[in-house]
Copies of this chain bind each other. A is one copy, B any other.
């Protein structure tokens, strides 16, 4: 696993240690992590701080040209909200830990020109599948099921 996906996994694990939903993300600009985040539904009572959104928020304000040079890493396939944020800011590339536990809007992203790569990392798959088994109600709430 490359160092950026490893950083996203560390974020997911941080979420788990806070009794939250273990999904993490990092935003990369020119080879450097400029935003880290993890799902904060449980911790902050947040309905919008998915991992990717938290990473975007923590990266702070930037002009659109900046985002055009970014890559977003996320441990799980991005939901419609997070995919929409990727499209809003024109982030050209997304690297996804896995889509076995949840298939997000990868086709929409691709249809709009975003380069989408799915690693299918076994540790990402296991972390999420275990969480869903233990807390199905939290997962359903987070993903609008």
Residues of A within 8 A of B (CB): 41, 45-48, 53, 56-57, 59-64, 67, 79-85, 87-90, 105, 108, 140-141, 143-145
Contact = CB atoms under 8 A, between A and B. Distances in A.
Contact of A64 (B61, B85, B141): B141
B64 A144 contact: yes
Given A48-B57, A61-B141, A88-B144, 20 more contacts: A41-B61, A45-B61, A47-B56, A47-B57, A47-B59, A47-B60, A47-B62, A47-B89, A48-B85, A62-B141, A63-B140, A63-B141, A64-B140, A64-B141, A79-B84, A79-B88, A81-B87, A81-B88, A82-B84, A108-B108
8 contacts: A41-B61, A47-B62, A64-B140, A64-B144, A79-B88, A81-B84, A83-B84, A88-B143
